[in-house]
Amino acid sequence: MIDKKRRENVLAILFIFTVPLLNILYTVLNGHNGEVYNLVTDIDNKIPFIKYFIVPYNMWYPFIISTLFYLCYADRKVFYKTVISVDMGLIFCYVVYILYQTTVPRPELIDNDLITKMVSCWIRKIH
């Protein structure tokens, strides 16, 4: 029999996995089911594409998960509030994504280096 403290820890850690599970919905919802709106503005056209930004972009996901693990052990009350807030934010976004589908044209990738391959991988993943 698992003691109460260990069971609470296991349940809390399992609760973290609601975030990646909800992210799976994004791939399901990321299809064109009708009219799609292009959100590109004149300002967007003036911002250069910098492929190296893929590095901090990729670091975002481990940062979120590691922060949730930290909060899980540092402050359980803040942890639950944070996970619920992230989950609610994802659900809200996904409802918007269903009702108002958008697109942003992706840049043409020319180079064949590691960074460009990382960008290409993300572009394939979201399209």
Whether 75 has a pLDDT exceeding 90, the answer reads yes
What's the pLDDT score for residue 126? 59
SS3 40: coil
What pLDDT is attached to residue 127?
54
Please state at what angle helix 18-29 crosses helix 76-99, rounded to 10 degrees. 10
Indicate whether 4 pLDDT > 60.
yes
pLDDT greater at residue 108 or residue 40: 40
Mean pLDDT, residues 41-61 taken together:
91
pLDDT digits (tens, 9 = 90+) for 93-122: 999 888 888 888 888 888 888 988 888 887
Query: The whole model's pTM is what?
Result: 0.79
- Check pLDDT > 90 for residue 18: yes
Tell me the chain's radius of gyration from C-alpha atoms. 19
- 17 DSSP assignment: T
